[in-house]
Structure 1
């Protein structure tokens, strides 16, 4: 697992290739990241199902309740199949753009 911080945002990338252990590590270390916006980088995984992505739902709900952004990045995925409560995008650039827009919305009181 590789963690990069850029301003108020932390990007967490799986370096092992084991989705289940990555999810467990992120969940167990969540308290370390909870005060930042989070990007979960799953670009190295090409065979993720909608159910795999849904496993991040509890973390996403908890994080958004704390008024922080939680974005998952994965490519080759059916983005329409993901529940509206999860933010899933195809690139890191788009993830940073989403976080920037959500920060502006929070600053404006939306």
Structure 2
């Protein structure tokens, strides 16, 4: 797991561990390292991403979004049409930044 910070955004890149292991690692360090930042999880190193893999992030995403922070998954390996509405999944890192910017504006406007 590679962690990078860019202002108020933390980017977590998946290396070799399974999605379940990645989710578990993020959850264990959540309060100390990630709670105060918008999160982008990059799964670009994985060859195939199943719907079940993406759903592993649902609880973490709901918790994070409940704290008024954005949670975006970046992968071009998943069928975006099958993704649940509760999760934000985009194919590129730039789109993840755009989503966070839009959600910040919505929060500022009270939505």
TM-score under structure 1 normalisation? 0.94
Contact 1:17–1:44 (8 Å) recurs in 2? no
* Deviation of 1:19 (Å): 2.8
- Counterpart residue number, 2:30: 30
Distance in 2 (CA, whole Å) between partners of 1:67 and 1:88 is 18
SS at match of 2:46: coil
Contact 1:46–1:75 (8 Å) recurs in 2? no
Q: CA RMSD in A?
A: 1.1
Distance in 1 (CA, whole Å) between partners of 2:74 and 2:52 is 15
- Counterpart residue number, 2:103: 102
TM-score under structure 2 normalisation? 0.93
Contact 1:17–1:45 (8 Å) recurs in 2? no
Q: Could you tell me which runs of 5 or more consecutive residues in structure 2 were left unpaired when the two chains were aligned.
A: none
- Counterpart residue number, 1:83: 84
Distance in 1 (CA, whole Å) between partners of 2:57 and 2:10 is 16
Distance in 2 (CA, whole Å) between partners of 1:76 and 1:13 is 15
After the TM superposition, which segments of 4 or more aligned residues of structure 1 sit over 6 Å from their partners? none
State the number of aligned residues. 110
Contact 2:10–2:37 (8 Å) recurs in 1? yes
Distance in 2 (CA, whole Å) between partners of 1:6 and 1:17 is 23
- What are the superposed Cα offsets for residues 7-55 of structure 1, whole Å, 9 maximum, x if unpaired? 1110001123433322221121111101110000101112110011000
